[in-house]
Structure 1
Amino acid sequence: MSMALGAQALPAGSALDLVRSLSPADLADVFPTPILLVDLADARPDEVAALTARRPPLVLVGVGPGAHAGAGAGAGAGPGPGPGADHPGPGSGRPSIPALAGLDVLLPEVLAPGDDVDAAVATLVRAVGEHPEAAVALVGLLRMAGRLEPLDGLVAESLAYSTLLAGGDFARWLAARPPREHRPVAQPVLTRRDGDRLVLTFNRPEARNAFDTATRDALVAALRAAAADDSLTEVELAATGPAFGAGGDLTQFGTAPDLARAHLVRTGASAGAEIVRCPHRTVAYIHGACVGAGIEIPAFADRVVAAPDVAIQLPELRLGLVPGAGGTVSVTRRVGRHRAAWMVLTGTFLDASTALRWGLVDEVAAPR
């Protein structure tokens, strides 16, 4: 019964009564797949607000006509990194009932007209069922995102990431992978001065610019040097090869011997944090595959310009993880937490037009 309950939408009042009547441990028994579908038809705002205020350890998904996707943003009208997770910019859509903002996913906000709602629900239920710990950790992070400053959000994300690295889900993913050889390069990040502009270019094209520790350290060092240079006004991020970034280098996943120490390293050497702190305007020019860190880092920039061929994805859930390069902060502040949750939970790819409409990028233009 409990699996069927998790896979069917309940009226908001019934969902609230259920969550009120059960302890978190009992909820785990009733929902072995920790997802609760809430029927938005005739949903009373006070019931939805009371439900979300309880912060149940469940992925709360709004299903039905009770919210609408906002108007798409035009070129250059993306929200940038400033509006905050619960107050996304014009490309992000807003629920017509403010109380619905407390839900974790709003299907009317993420689906296009004509999309199969039943298929979307099935995708969410399957993903949460396969990776329950990571899914619950993800929505917990995103629920906090709008109340935390970016640097605090990065700390929260890193704590969750290290916790999940120690989990059985990630261990199973790691054990199923054949070993791969790491391919270092002499200069993983190229630097070029152009007047008052500094161009930083990822330079591991043979690895599709996978983000390894050497790339991270080189990028952080370059961003710190740029921040200290008063003669600069702009920092540009770009990449060589067919992909801007294929995500974290999988050859280095699971190699940290001390996960507590790894958290300190991750927060002490964060490219996203350095972009947040940088006093100069930052512009990212992205193209091709922008996966994991390949979108999480450029999304911190003041402006993101995407080539028409971009394919954007946050795939970490299938590893039993949450984004670890700042995506719960950077992507969420651009598209809102409902769409950020959808991206991670489903692992869906966004094309250039969707990324522009959602506000994840500010402009679509041919590569320079």
Structure 2
Amino acid sequence: MTVKVVAFLFEKKSIRILVTLILIFTLIYLVSITRFIFEPVGAYLTAIAVPIIGAGIIFYITNPIVNWLEKKKVPRFAGTLIVFLLILLIITIIINFVAPVVQRQFSNFVESVPKMVDNAEKLFEMWQENQNIIPPQFENTIQNVMDNFSQYAERITASIIGVIGQIFSFVFAFFLIPFFLFFMLKDGYKFVPFVSNFLSPSKAKSFKKLTANINHTLASFIQGQFIVSLCVGIMLYIGYLIIGLDYSLSLALFGLVMNFIPFLGPFLSAIPAIIVGFFQDPILAVWATVVMVVAQQIESNLISPNVMGRALSIHPLTVITLILAAGGIAGFLGLLFVIPAYAVVKTIIAHFYHEWEKKQPEEDPDLF
């Protein structure tokens, strides 16, 4: 009798979902209390994460070139070598022409920070002298901010330098990326057929469909975001040059990188440009804002819809929530990778849910 009751309950879809969730949380709990077993595995994965992720990003950017060359009867090995030569050429151009300018502009910016602080204090004192009536609470708040403005500026500068330090540390870990990238471009297409050989025909078909969906999701995001961010960086650089803004190349590159962060990126990239423009000439702060707004309008209304479309299908509120959570947990790298990671997890869950749903018999309405 008990067995029949249990079988009857498991015929209900809601009960099966509840049991599945209980098992998942039980598994998570067991992993958490035995995490010391997985620490060596975690250390190994952390060590290889940077080259694999870096190679994966470059792979999705350059793989269309290799595929195009292959269609033109160029062997895949030769196409991979051609891509490496193109990458080497781009790196050479950056090192010889872009990096020295950015380094010089950043050094000048760091040296000008104390002067900006002094100008801000003088500006506030001038404004305060010309005000007859200022609410005490408002005056105390502003005075407190100005008293600690130097500390705030030093913290912001230290944060920027810290981010740049992380980037350089990240770059030093890139020495393995060419090896991973070479084999990804040359033999990456063999991975799915190789794994499928160990699966039954039905599971192999499901696995191929899953990997194709994941590949489409990652390619859509990485390739689309790369093209969109590159276009935004070029537009910002041209706009900053037109208005005569100092550190135009550095600020444009900063805007290019920040544009990889959905929604919050454009606002973050606007802050340094507006501050630099204000201290150079207050009217330039307005023009820098105009340049940023125009660039973002062109990007959101013309470039993104044609390049990315609605490939990820993620609600804006979900994106904002993920970005805020990832920023607090993993910092800058979390902001960059949380959206594609979420999109991949969403693709995997949707795939297995559809596979599971296809195997279920028709539900009896009387059971609910």
TM-score, normalised to structure 2's length? 0.24
- Which of the two has greater helix per residue? 2
